[in-house]
Amino acid sequence: MIELEGVPELIDPVMVAAFEGWNDAGDAASAAVAHLDREWKGEVFAALDAEDYYDFQVNRPTVFLDGGVRKITWPTTRLSVVRIGGEKPRDLVLVRGIEPSMRWRSFCNELLGFAHELGVELVVILGALLGDTPHTRPVPVSGVTSDSDLARTMDLEETKYEGPTGIVGILQEACTHAGVPAVSLWAAVPHYVSQPPNPKATLALLNRLEDLIDLRIPLGELPEDARAWQLGVDQLAAEDSEVAEYVQTLEEARDTAELPEASGEAIAREFERYLRRRDGGGPTAGSPGHATESGEPASYLRDTPGGRSRPPLPQRPESEAGQDTGAGEPLKATDDGAGADAQDRAPGSEDSPGPSDTPGTPGSGPGSGDTPDTSDGTDSSES
């Protein structure tokens, strides 16, 4: 039994988890949990033993200086708690770490032990994948669960996936077998601009989480970062006609797929969010800082401050040869000065997830099948 000393009794607690690595394209999911922890000043109350779950040759520890003293930070998973007051108080247990290298069943059982001891009522696991989605359109976010009753009551998709999975899928199944309601939220990140950070995808995950647990989330500067990110990608894509043409192709496919729905549900959700923010004294739909369903501010936002770097240049289609993206056209990295960094960190390079090892990436590899089909042709992962 896990004994928690110094942790107060929580009110309707929800556990929100994200893990760096295979299930975290563009660092969108881990950045979302980090945002919650930062905005609500979470207090760490537990950390899993790094020796039990991590291969330090895969996830190496880091050395840093603290007041002239050398210290080591070990890769692990930490749990923090945030107390949320207001008219409808609800507390969150935040789980943020790295996908473990080994002993996944023990890893999940330990997290479930904390959930049981804290009285967690719902576990929400955030993930992000690469897909054929244009950066100019709303970020697709899919909600999936293994619980048929939960799928029906919370308007989620019941997962039918079979194949390789990551720690997100394993933890969700562990919750299901333990009788703990669990949901996975997946954001689709454009595969041609997969380098982190992706504040637009992070914002979309937080918007969806806000709707799911009926809780107003302070967004801080995230809407401005999302707007700046899109403007930067727009500018870089416009410098290459082939990239611009490819993005237009994705836009047309996305718009055609969504046309029959007329996004009535999206409009309803946005109106509900507007009312929630108005009642809570927060920014309204017409004021700066309010995030729309597309993950963009509803009003004008200032340009990127001078210190913020532009996103790397997206890859552009290659007419004769290149990497198969699954979108019907091959891509290659641009060779002009603005795209040098993107070529170094493009999908498939050593320090960036590529089509073969990132969930939801079109093409072969364990991630290519770990997603349900969506109406717009974009893969949305599930456990």
> What is the DSSP code string of 253-311?
HHHHHHGGGTTHHHHHHHHHHHHHHHHTTS--TTSTT-B-TTSSBSS--PPPPTTSPPP
123-127, 225-229, 365-369: which range is least confident on average? Answer: 365-369
| pLDDT tens for each residue of 32-57 | 999 999 999 999 999 999 999 999 99
Residue 238 banded pLDDT, cuts 50, 70, 90: confident
Task: Compute how many other C-beta atoms are within 10 angstroms of the C-beta atom of residue 166.
Answer: 22
pLDDT at 366 over 50: no
pLDDT at 173 over 70: yes
Q: Higher model confidence: residue 202 or residue 309?
A: 202
pLDDT at 370 over 50: no
pLDDT at 369 over 70: no
Q: What is the pLDDT of residue 323?
A: 37
Q: What is the pLDDT of residue 268?
A: 59
Q: What is the pLDDT of residue 84?
A: 87
The mean pLDDT value for 224-246 works out to: 88
Place of tokens 């496919």: 253
pLDDT at 290 over 60: no
| pLDDT tens for each residue of 311-345 | 444 444 443 333 333 333 333 333 343 333 433 43
The mean pLDDT value for 296-314 works out to: 36
Residue 116: Cβ-neighbour burial (10 angstroms; 0-12, 13-18, 19+)? middle
Q: Higher model confidence: residue 313 or residue 97?
A: 97
The mean pLDDT value for 13-26 works out to: 95
87-91, 112-116, 124-128, 291-295: which range is least confident on average? Answer: 291-295
| pLDDT tens for each residue of 252-284 | 888 777 655 445 555 555 556 555 555 554 433
| pLDDT tens for each residue of 178-204 | 999 999 999 999 988 888 999 999 999
Pair 128, 24: CB distance under 8 Å: yes
Max avg pLDDT among 27-36, 215-224, 287-296: 27-36
pLDDT at 105 over 90: yes
pLDDT at 232 over 80: yes
Q: What is the pLDDT of residue 243?
A: 81
Angle at 211 between CA 121 and CA 22, to 5 degrees: 75
Residues 6+ apart with CB under 8 A from 368: 326, 355, 360, 361, 362, 379
Tokens of 160: 């039918």
Q: Mean pLDDT of all residues in the chain?
A: 75
The mean pLDDT value for 153-174 works out to: 90
Closest CA to 141 of 211, 218, 194: 211
Closest CA to 13 of 94, 87, 96, 77: 94
H-assigned helices in 186-263: 199-213, 222-238, 241-258
The mean pLDDT value for 213-237 works out to: 91
CA–CA gap between residue 247 and residue 132 (Å, rounded): 10
Task: Compute how many other C-beta atoms are within 10 angstroms of the C-beta atom of residue 345.
Answer: 17
Angle at 225 between CA 279 and CA 285, to 5 degrees: 25
Q: What is the pLDDT of residue 136?
A: 86
pLDDT at 78 over 90: yes
Max avg pLDDT among 59-63, 145-149, 233-237, 368-372: 59-63
